[in-house]
Each structure stands twice: as C-alpha cells, then as structure tokens.
Structure 1
Amino acid sequence: MAIAKTSLREVDPVWQRICDEGRDTINDEALMGSVVHAGILNHSSFENALGYRIAMKLASTEMSEQTLRDIATNAYEAEPELALAARADIVAIVDRDPACHRFLQPLLFFKGFQAVQAYRLAYWLWGQGKKDLAYFIQMRTSEVFGVDIHPAARIGKGIMIDHAHSIVIGETAVVGDNVSMLHSVTLGGTGKEDDDRHPKIGDGVLIGAGAHVLGNIEIGHCSRIAAGSVVLQPVPPMKTVAGVPAKIVGEAGCSQPSLTMDQLLNGCGGAS
C-alpha cells in the first residue's frame, strides 16, 4: 500500500506549539489578542508568520511592509532551509535562555532571533545576486535591532544571540552550528584588505558579552571566550580563553559550552 508523503507544514511541531501558546496567551491576557492574531494566528504557516514579523519590523518609508513580505515569501519558497534554520534557532533559545519559557517569545519579542532571521533573508538575497536588496536589509536590521551582520557572512543553525545589542559580524566571518553569543560581540577584521579577513567560529562555541574576535583566525569547536576578551590568535578546540589580549586559561570544562551558557572561569570545570 502506498504511503502518502507528509509535508513539513502538515506536521510542524514548532509551529503547532507557537499557535497553542498564542491561544493560551490570549486566554491569559486579552489585551495581547491583536498582537497574537496579527503575528501568529492569522497565518497559515511558520514561514508566513516569520515573513510578516520581519517585514513589519524592517518596513520604512523607503520600502513597504508588503514588498518585504513578498521578498520573504519568495525566499522561503525557494529555500526551505531558511525556515528550518529559524526553527532550530527558536529551539536553541528556548533550551538555553532562562528568560525564555515559550516558543512564541523569540518570534514575537526577541530582537536577537528576529535580527538573525533578517540576516538569513539578506544572505539568501546576496546569493541570488541581489546585493543592493541585501545591503538594504542589512542596513535596516542594524538600524532597528542594533545588529550589523554582513549579508555575505555564513552563519549556521541553532544560533542564540542573547540581548543582541551592538553585534557586528563581518563579511568573511563564518559561524558554525549551535553557537551562543551575548551582547556587544564583534567578529571583525584587523585591516582594510579586501580578502578573507574575519574569524571562523567552530560549532558549539560560547562567546561572552563584549568579546572581540579579530582577524582571519579559527576558534575551535566547543571553546569558550570570556566576556570582554580580545582574541587575536587562533583558539584550539575545547579551551577557555580570557583577557586582553586573550590567552588560554583552561579547558572549556564541558562538551557543549554554548548549551550550558556557563561563563564563569571556574565554572563548568573550567580554569582552576
């Protein structure tokens, strides 16, 4: 007997959870009804809701919400991986952020999540050769969210940017999967050369608040960068670095620093 294939939209636990939470929110706080209906319940899919949210945030007198929604719709239809990455980002935030208790929170309220999804849209546009549109998205994302990610940067899935203020990620930067970073992080270059000049961040890395990683250097997987550090040299996998300039101060202390979010140098089995 033939088995019919089921699409992601027919069985989408993240979207179903968000819708259920939206209805619960209205029951608990009726004044949130218009926000929840506009942002969640009026939409038939996660992709539609996400496109609406990005468009609403980035719209301006220069480019309308409808135009931005059309761009997002085209992107999600052409590249389903964009929305899959967004789902992974939501799950990551719920798992790692103690202030996040519901799946709808990142979609409706968290500018770190929204900024990353706007970047993903700009990245898709950049890959399609629509560079001026991508620059426009980058500009508006920086203006609205305080997060400046070049559209050519490559960022993996399961990303959490907590608080998401004054984030800068340069053109040739690469960020792996399951990376967590806090506010005021810079992944920057060290000069004006037009070449591969930005950091390469491995999977599972935790980058503390105010840390600056500069130059075409590799940060090994599952390492920790302490808050306020300035990293100018490569970091081996599963190490903790701290200071200005940053030096190795111990082991990472656990297999997944970005998941535990432990930033104490003597925590999680780090430096002794």
Structure 2
Amino acid sequence: MSPADSPWHILRTQAERAVQAEPVLSGTFREAILDQPDFAFALAHRVSQALADSEEQQAALFDRFSSIHQQFPALAESAWCDLQAIVSRDPAFGTGLEVLLFSKGFLALQAYRIGHQLLLQDERLLAMFIQARCNERLAVDINPASQIGSGIMLDHATGIVIGETAAVGDDVSILQGVTLGGTGKESGDRHPKVRSGVMIGAGAKILGNIEIGEGAKVGAGSVVLQAVAPHTTVVGNPARQVGKPRHARPALDMDQSFDEG
C-alpha cells in the first residue's frame, strides 16, 4: 500500500477538504484528525472525548487509551475494518471521516475494543467504566468480556445489548435494539455465538448459549431461542426458518427482505 492509499492519509485528506467545505466545523476536524499523529491517536481522542466528564478526565483517559493503542496496534486495524464496513454498507455515511465523527455505533464499538483490552490487562474497573459510560451516553451496552471480531457494523446502535459471554464473528451487521442475552440467572457460558457474515435485524432478541451459523439472517423483531443453521433465514416470535438468504454473507448486502419457503 502506498502512503497515499493508507487509511490515515485518506482520513487526513477528507479532513482537509472538510475544513474548506465547512469552516464552522474546522476546529472539530483539526482536533479530531489534523492535530493527531496517527489513526490510533485519533481513535483514543474520539473515545476519551465522548466518555469524559471534564477536560481533566479526558486528558487522563486519552493518555491511557492512546497507550493501549500503541501497545496493541491490532485495535486500530480492527477499527479501520469497522469503518470500511460502515462506509460500504450504510448509505447514510459517505466517508470515513463522517463515520469517525458521527457514527454512534462505530464509537461504541471502539470504546468496547479498548475496554476489552483493558480487561485482559486486569484493569477491570476502567473497563467497566467504559461500558457504563457507553450505556449512559450512547445507549449501547457491550460487556467488555464479550468477544467481537472485525468488520462490524452497529447500525444506528441505540439499544444494542451484548452480554458477557457472547461472541460475534467477523463481518457481522447488527441493527438497533438487538439483544445478545442470557435466558435468566444462569452463570457460565450463557450468551449467543454469532458467526461471520450474519445480519441481525432491528429489535431481534437472541437469548442463551446458542449458535447463529455463518451467513445466517435474523429478521427484525425476531425472538431466537434455538440455534440457527448456517445460511438460513429466521423470522418471528418464536423464530422459525423461512428459507435462505439471497446473499452468502447477508451482513454485506443488508437486504432486509426474505423469501418464504
């Protein structure tokens, strides 16, 4: 990849153009992108800015978050995959700059990624702080112990809940109001396992330690209590199989319709 094609160069170019196009927001573009040395620092800035109560707290969070990003460059790599996923799947966002600044789902996901790494570093209280603030500020509740792949789109994101032992594979699209939850007070491994390429429609509830197979599609408002086979579409309450997705990876084409039969 040439320097001109690097993710950071692309974002900086978009920010430079945005300064000219929207001078009233020039300070925002400079602070978020043009004043940052790289994408990892930009992510740390964006998350710390969103979660902090004060300038002092933001500075402290930024120092810790940027340090984590420098230690674990895979965090920024996953974030870039998420950003590209949103640009390619959501027509509401035209550029990566728009996603970084204005996508609540992207922001919540990057906060989760930092919190997950902090939990692995035995910084449980800070990880839980991030989860709580995302719930309070963004209406997204992702347990930092959950396992989430890359190329993820949390579309709209409001009301998404992902439980402690849930797992989400790569290239998954999850719409607003989705719950990946348990079924009661049971302990241990108790949350869904969503494999790669799955699309989960708005308001769907997937409950228990069940598998949603690769390339499956869960219709909006469905309540899923049993495993879903790969490349299968389910809808309803309780969810029932109604055919197969038209695309091998429904998360990528975001087709909300289904063919019964």
- Normalising to structure 1: TM-score of the pair? 0.93
| Identical counterparts, % of pairs | 47
SS, match of residue 180 in structure 2? strand
Residue 157 (1) aligns with residue 150 (2)? yes
- Say whether the 8 Å CA contact 2:4–2:10 is kept in structure 1: no
Deviation at 1:62, TM superposition (A): 11
- Provide the rounded CA distance (Å) in 2 between the counterparts of 1:25 and 1:58: 25
- Normalising to structure 2: TM-score of the pair? 0.97
- Say whether the 8 Å CA contact 1:122–1:134 is kept in structure 2: yes
- Provide the rounded CA distance (Å) in 1 between the counterparts of 2:173 and 2:56: 32
Question: Where do 5+ consecutive residues of structure 1 fail to align?
Answer: 1-5
- Provide the rounded CA distance (Å) in 2 between the counterparts of 1:133 and 1:237: 37
Q: For residue 85 of structure 1, what is the aligned residue in structure 2? A: 78
Q: For residue 23 of structure 2, what is the aligned residue in structure 1? A: 30
SS, match of residue 213 in structure 1? strand
2:33 aligned partner, one-letter code: I
Distance 1:191 1:12, change over 3 A: farther
- Provide the rounded CA distance (Å) in 1 between the counterparts of 2:141 and 2:5: 31
Deviation at 1:231, TM superposition (A): 0.3
Deviation at 1:115, TM superposition (A): 0.3
Distance 1:82 1:12, change over 3 A: farther
Deviation at 1:33, TM superposition (A): 0.5
1:73 aligned partner, one-letter code: S
Residue 20 (1) aligns with residue 13 (2)? yes
- Say whether the 8 Å CA contact 1:166–1:183 is kept in structure 2: yes
Question: Where do 5+ consecutive residues of structure 2 fail to align?
Answer: none
- Provide the rounded CA distance (Å) in 2 between the counterparts of 1:229 and 1:215: 14
Q: For residue 181 of structure 1, what is the aligned residue in structure 2? A: 174
Q: CA RMSD in A?
A: 1.6
- Say whether the 8 Å CA contact 1:14–1:103 is kept in structure 2: no
- Provide the rounded CA distance (Å) in 1 between the counterparts of 2:21 and 2:59: 31
Aligned residues: 261
Counterpart mapping for 1:62-141 below 5 A: 64-141=57-134
Distance 1:94 1:210, change over 3 A: same
Instruction: Give the 4+ runs in structure 1 shifted more than 6 A.
Output: none
Q: Which deviates more, 144-153 or 73-82? A: 73-82
- Provide the rounded CA distance (Å) in 2 between the counterparts of 1:209 and 1:114: 19
- Provide the rounded CA distance (Å) in 2 between the counterparts of 1:178 and 1:125: 24
Higher helix share: 2
Deviation at 1:204, TM superposition (A): 0.4
SS, match of residue 234 in structure 2? strand
Distance 1:77 1:226, change over 3 A: same
SS, match of residue 157 in structure 2? coil
Deviation at 1:12, TM superposition (A): 6.4
1:50 aligned partner, one-letter code: L
- Provide the rounded CA distance (Å) in 1 between the counterparts of 2:198 and 2:95: 24
- Provide the rounded CA distance (Å) in 2 between the counterparts of 1:29 and 1:61: 27
- Provide the rounded CA distance (Å) in 2 between the counterparts of 1:139 and 1:207: 24
2:113 aligned partner, one-letter code: R
